[in-house]
């Protein structure tokens, strides 16, 4: 029998998209490199672009154009780059993205536990929604919030708190699952427990550096973690 108080039981789960549900680097790299070519720059390696993913399309464009985690381009170059990235990503979104092992099984197990599921990503809503549909994951989620759905995005806690309010689940009963410090910082600021997966992006940093309540090898293992509470 579960020894924890029922008030601590997880009722809702918020899950990141890129690097947690799906490996989207091939699509993002193709769009980023097509953007760079449009602006007269040579392509970058897929491994390099993987380090630049995690804080939304705008930051990815800045990083991809400067080939730097901290790089920023002038406004006129950013506008051209952003328009080019959107144009190319419309074509690439979901073409080569792949589910990570245990994702479908983990989501099904969480639903079987009676959990309410939301996907919260910094990817623009116009790309997040069709990607989940193409991957066959949309039916698992009651709510999907893209990075432009609210005034602030992760690592701000606003999207996570919004989900909790919509689901009627207090922070202590709402679990965040992600692959980066961005996800963990948002969860901590929201007062929510957080698990991280080791296979995502996290800007090239090890997940051991993340302030989280645990590392799970898959979403199926995350479902087991929840069931054991």
User: Could you tell me the CA-to-CA distances from 134 to 14, 27, 198 in Å, in that order?
Assistant: 20, 13, 24
CB-CB neighbours of 18 under 10 Å: 27
Residues 144 and 52 in one domain: no
Q: How many CA atoms lie within 13 A of 134 on its CB side?
A: 16
Domain that holds residue 79: 25-92
| Amino acid 1: pLDDT | 30
Residues 145 and 163 in one domain: yes
Q: Total domain count for the chain?
A: 2
User: Could you tell me the CA-to-CA distances from 28 to 31, 46, 48 in Å, in that order?
Assistant: 5, 9, 11
Catalytic residue (choose from 8, 16, 18, 179): 16
Residues 32 and 59 in one domain: yes
Residues 139 and 198 in one domain: yes
Residues 172 and 210 in one domain: yes
Q: Low-confidence residues of the chain, pLDDT below 50?
A: 1-7
Residues 156 and 171 in one domain: yes
List the CATH number of the domain containing 188.
Answer: 3.40.50.1000
Residues 136 and 51 in one domain: no
Residues 204 and 116 in one domain: yes
Residues 112 and 43 in one domain: no
| Amino acid 8: pLDDT | 67
Catalytic residue list contains 16: yes
List the CATH number of the domain containing 69.
Answer: 1.10.150.240
Run of H or E including 109: helix 103-112
Residue 222 lies inside a defined structural domain of this protein: yes
Residue 1 lies inside a defined structural domain of this protein: no
Kindly state the greatest CA–CA separation across the chain: 63
Residues 167 and 68 in one domain: no
Confirm if 27 and 92 have CB atoms less than 8 A apart.
yes
Measuring CA to CA, which residue among 216, 165, 181, 166 is closest to residue 195? 216
Measuring CA to CA, which residue among 166, 157, 218 is closest to residue 191? 157
Residues 86 and 120 in one domain: no
Measuring CA to CA, which residue among 34, 49, 26, 39 is closest to residue 97? 26
Dist. CA 33–CA 36, nearest whole Å: 5
């Amino acid at each position: 029998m579960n020894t924890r108080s029922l008030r601590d039981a997880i009722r809702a789960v918020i899950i990141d998209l890129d690097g947690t549900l799906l490996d989207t680097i091939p699509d993002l790299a193709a769009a980023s490199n097509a953007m760079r070519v449009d602006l007269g720059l040579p392509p970058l390696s897929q491994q390099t672009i993987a380090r630049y993913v995690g804080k939304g399309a705008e930051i990815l464009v800045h990083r991809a154009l400067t080939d730097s985690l901290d790089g920023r381009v002038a406004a006129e170059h950013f506008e051209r780059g952003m328009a080019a990235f959107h144009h190319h990503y419309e074509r690439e979104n979901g073409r080569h993205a792949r589910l990570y092992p245990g994702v479908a099984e983990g989501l099904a197990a969480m639903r079987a536990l009676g959990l309410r599921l939301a996907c919260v990503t910094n990817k623009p809503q116009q790309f997040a929604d069709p990607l989940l549909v193409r991957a066959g994951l949309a039916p698992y989620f009651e709510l999907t919030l893209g990075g432009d759905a609210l005034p602030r995005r992760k690592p701000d806690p606003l999207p996570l708190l919004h989900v909790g309010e919509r689901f009627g689940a207090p922070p202590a009963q709402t679990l965040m699952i992600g692959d980066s410090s961005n996800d963990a910082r948002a969860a901590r600021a929201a007062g929510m427990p957080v698990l991280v997966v080791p296979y995502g992006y996290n800007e090239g940093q090890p997940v051991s550096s993340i302030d989280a309540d645990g590392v799970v090898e898959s979403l199926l293992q995350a479902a087991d973690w929840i069931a054991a509470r």
